[in-house]
Amino acid sequence: MEMSCWTTVRVWVLLSLGLFIQLICSRSEAVADVAAGKRIFETVCAACHGPNGRPDPDSPIVQAFDPRPADLSDPLFNSREPALDWKLVVKHGGHALGLSPQMPPQGGILSDDEIESVVAYIKTLAATSDYPPGEFNLMLPIRTKKAYPEDELVWSSRLTQRDGQDLIRNVFEFEKRIGHRGQAIVELVQEDNGPETELEEIELGYKHALAWSLEKRYLLSGAVTVAFVTDDGASNEIIPYLAYAQQLSPRTTLQASGRAVLPVDDVEEGALELAGIVHYVWSEWPRRVFPALELTATVPFESGPGDDVEFTVLPQVRIGLTHGGHVALNLGVELPLSNQDYDYRAHLTLLWDFADGSFFQGW
């Protein structure tokens, strides 16, 4: 059948609205007492972390630690660490998330409400209003673009099973935080069709956090990448996109992205790629297996006879490999829902968030 681009977009919007229904999910969160948190910090935490969150390098207590206590007054560090992770560290100790075992657990001393309050106070020790909160550094999807600007190394491998020769595609991605809101992107794309293995393209890009709200639990980012292809017969591409992250409830998150693939030689040969994913976050501990369901639609700018719009569904799991989850594995199977020329695609993604520690830390 024939389906126009506008019809496809409308269908996709309706599907997305169905996901947004989960926004009515209730939250059960303690109300933090920042003043009480300050008193607790000064009593329990200041000896190591300093009265203003910055450890005193001349303090004998601080000098005895290896590594040194974290600088809680650093706005980048303060903003990129989600409050939940800090609550776990305060309650269960640094070793619980693969961090320094010299950070003692306070769960036997402080109540959950007191931990909530002291973490809320710690979040006031740095001016972070221009930094996107780490609460929106959600789990990496397979197809949907992330909104949060991160420091990560990612290797993605995709096996396309089709009649004739199967195709393996590897993507090596380096993502580096720039300034308060930005991220540089470098991607190397390699394809292996059996007889030949070649570097297909190099992508360079930049992502910028545009707007966010901790109260409304969302983050919106914009990005643009340029793909330089190695095949003389193919066109370089400009690829702008928007990426969105939303915490629907304490147990569910939504991510969505829309990107336009624009061949430089002939824009009409391009396509609009839409994707969205919901993760079920059933545990607060990162070293767990988290299921997710992802949907995609690829809409060509030029419509022709037949079903030109390609839909897929991609069930997947995120597996935290380290205690802090900064090294993680994604496994998924992408199933075509329209007239694609393949039976399925098997995906594997290995992520290392190097801002949170070395690759071998916390296993």
The dihedral of CA 207, 142, 22, 151: what is its sign? negative
pLDDT 10s digits, 29-71: 556 789 999 999 999 998 889 899 999 888 888 888 888 888 9
Task: Write the single-letter amino acid at 227.
Answer: A
Task: Write the single-letter amino acid at 326.
Answer: H
Q: Is the pLDDT of residue 115 over 90?
A: yes
Distances (CA, A) of 339 to 43, 307, 347, 358, 359: 65, 7, 20, 44, 41
Tokens of residue 349, six digits: 């993604």
Please give the helix or strand (H or E) that residue 154 lies within, else none: strand 152-161
Predicted confidence at residue 305, as pLDDT, reads 60
Q: Are 132 and 212 in contact (CB under 8 A)?
A: yes
Tokens of residue 298, six digits: 């690829």
Cis status, amide bond into 195, omega within 30 of 0: no
Say what the pTM is.
0.87
Domains by residue range for the chain, with CATH: 5-26+132-356 (2.40.160.40), 34-122 (1.10.760.10)
Predicted confidence at residue 66, as pLDDT, reads 82
pLDDT 10s digits, 128-174: 999 999 999 999 999 999 999 999 999 999 999 877 778 999 999 99
Task: Write the single-letter amino acid at 328.
Answer: A
Which of 134, 118, 122, 125 lies closest to 32, judged by CA?
118
pLDDT 10s digits, 225-239: 999 998 878 899 999
